[in-house]
Structure 1
């Protein structure tokens, strides 16, 4: 360029000025034409200016100058017919053309020319400001990343019409890129994008130009050019790369000029904000969908209410367990069972937060339903209470399993019991059989008769006692629960057995308040339970003593509390080595015992959901038989 410029200036300008001759002017075109070609190539290749604007505006200015000059020259000839006769130093036509050129280069003329002539000369040109305003409106709405990619592609197609458009989005969780467009072009090399260090510089729009780069960056440009990309746009926020847009060459064949690149750069800021919002929007939707799927997969019923008591959401299990329908969303929680409604009210008011509380609710189809309630308070972004939710777990299956387990345990006890009965009956039957076998031979023997009269009634009585025990076994099978008051029951038992106890030098002391809460129980079985424990206590003191019966209410273990009855004796106590077997059928420490008394007591306690334990009274001896019964819920007082 320097050689051509010097050659053209020397032959066409400098030599004629200093020598007054143009002998070498014929060489000028040989310098000027290559110079014009190289300058044009540089302008197009390196985007020094937009040639469309340069050519169109230059042509418009030239035509305007020619028209204005022609009109002025024609008018001057009409007004001054003799002006060409004189031979001034400069021809008047050149003066008119120069004045017109200066006038058109002035600011007022420029503004007038742009206002009047541009709409006609540049019709169909790109209105970048209008396109940006439209893009702002279209990208400001909330949408998914794929919708954003389609919208951005449409905007660029309307303005620049690229042959290809590819949008890659970087995942929040990893460094992988997701292609949001279905392109038939060659796949983009992600490693090539990494080599450009997008997001680590202030450059957001990169022109793919392998010839101007070196090393890894050049290889990256070559890979992108091979994939059909001519422009790389980095979308990022707060120093973090969110995505990349790759634009192919323009359908018109034109290059991306400076104004085009400025438009893309301005659009990049809008697209980056829109992409960040779209990614957060998609993440929120995914979290909501995950939460919905998680709630739907739960076997427990989940119901959420707002601060006004309206149900905002519930899951599939809540529909099945609480008979809710989809149209119940937005309804008041009064349609829920009262136990659940009160738990939610107490949770919102801060009075009580139930955690795994077992309650019974009235079910439309299944009558009484045992469930576990847990509540949680919901807060808004400012920490204020916005609602509450309750988790209701159906215990029907658990209760059925517990009943089956108790039945299996009962059957196992019965099996051991019958085996023991068979063994116990075999001994007296063998003795009776032996006496009967000797009857023909020793019928007249007085000693035989005396022995038979003495032994046979004892063995028969033994069989009768075993039969009575057999009748008393399995108390839970025929038991019927009703409301029972413990205090009068204990008073009656003590009154009936005090005379017999006094004959054995045993005193019975009863300490029982009259206002004890009521329990659910079978009165006949409870009498059997307390009588068995009282007999054991009396038999544990053959030398006499005092049996103390204490009854009291415990508060705190459950919502309604419990009643504890203790039967305390002053005997020798239970040997620690046999305490683990004390409730097994046919296990006894008494010479004449059957080993069924305490096992029957345990059966009765289990039937009443009570806890029966034997504790040492003190290191000096004695035993405490403790039974803890669950109380019934307090009934509301009548006013």
Structure 2
């Protein structure tokens, strides 16, 4: 409203000046008898063209100063601004209110609010509302910053350029300040702490800033400093809250993981105790029977053979449990050793599958082995790799209901980047599958799917469980061969039976000729 009124009065004043000047020259021409009218009009036109622009400029300045000065009430403006920004908590809104106030009060061209960050020996002033703009680095010992901090009053660019106080300032620092393209630098300080700089551009009228305007700018900067400090504290509080929330989430997850590990260890102790106790009980039971038969003198050959076979089976199961524990200990202490030699993958798979033929027949499961005979040899410890695939076949048997199928397939993969050849062998079942959240955890130590109460000592029963160490050992063995093992499954469902796949990737054996060519 004030700007429109000012423009209207300025326009009327210009027309008045033009009318008065034209009337003056016409009157002079009519009253003159000695000088031709054309000369008077020509000279008047030249004089008018030389004087009219300065007169119009002066008139506009006079009107704006008188009109706007009469309308301004700095105390009221400052009070309203203070109330407006008192509850603000974001920088963008704060700058918006500050910009509106200064534009309306002074009709200035540009305003910048730069926030200060302590960078050791320098302050970095950054326009946060324009992150792409280059930050301004100014030394803490800068004469300009020290002056602003000590006097707590705005600094005019004119004073910086020509004032004696800044005669010794370096041209580099002057150019840095000039790059801000402001007429006035207003410090934003909170208890001598640098929070930022308020850069005020020139007025559209071209007029200078008067003393009362300078005082008003500093008062505005002081109010802005309080609001800016509150904004910084609020942002810091939000950041700390977000960090606390993140830490709480991580702590909760860690506690859950610790609880899971604790339960897994407890389950392992229970399972291991059960696994160890069962063969020991069998051995002790058969031993008692033998003792009673020897005392009675009645020892039939068939009973003797049956008890010896039971003792042997129990002792073998006991040996397997102890071997698993020893393997885990070796993997953890990194003393696990392998003795690789060239071997055909088909040989490894046949040896691993042969152990489970009776279980496959008992459960009426069909094992399909295909695409292995043409695979290149791998450099592997045969005994250890048989252990790996034996574990995978056993898992497939326990995950698959009776009268279904298990598949073992192989293929050759070439790494186009290195040119190396790999052999990938996949053990697939048609069983209950694996949940997405368990797909990685099944390779962790002690981890077992399902409740420990569902554990069965049977090696091959459907949904039977074990100590939860077999896949951990399998992964350790494969990785010791510079290979990789992973699982895939659409999910776990005992009705639809989506199945699961276990992949083992091993480097193919490189012959001496190939190695020679590579060298």
**TM-score category (smaller protein):** 0.3 to 0.5
More relative contact order in 1 or in 2 (CA 8 Å, sep 6+)? Answer: 2
Give me the TM-score of the superposition, normalised by structure 2.
0.38
State the structure with more CA Rg: 1
Give me the TM-score of the superposition, normalised by structure 1.
0.32
